[in-house]
Amino acid sequence: MYIILFNFYYKEKNQILQRLSQNSVLVSLSSEKYLSRLAQHIKKNLEFYQILSRL
């Protein structure tokens, strides 16, 4: 499920980034920030589900 969500967000983000690709430095920075935030969000959710599964 997380992989599907990640792929969806990544594709959406890529479409936006392609429109902004005139400034490649800005694009790569915003892409890295976005992906690191998404990874942190997924990690928090995984930790939450691990806690629930122990109960």
Q: Is the pLDDT of residue 21 over 70?
A: no
- The string of pLDDT tens digits covering residues 35-51 is 888 888 888 888 888 88
The single residue listed with the structure tokens 């800005």 is 26
Structure tokens at 47: 């930790």
Q: What is the pLDDT averaged over residues 19-48?
A: 75
Mean pLDDT of the chain: 74
Q: What is the pLDDT averaged over residues 11-36?
A: 70
Return the axis-axis angle of helices 2-19 and 24-54, rounded to nearest 10°. 160
Domain positions in the chain are 2-9+24-54
Q: Where are the alpha helices (DSSP H) in the chain?
A: 2-19, 24-54
Q: What is the pLDDT of residue 35?
A: 80
The single residue listed with the structure tokens 């920030």 is 33
Q: What is the pLDDT of residue 27?
A: 59
Burial class (CB in 10 A: 0-12, 13-18, 19+), 30: middle
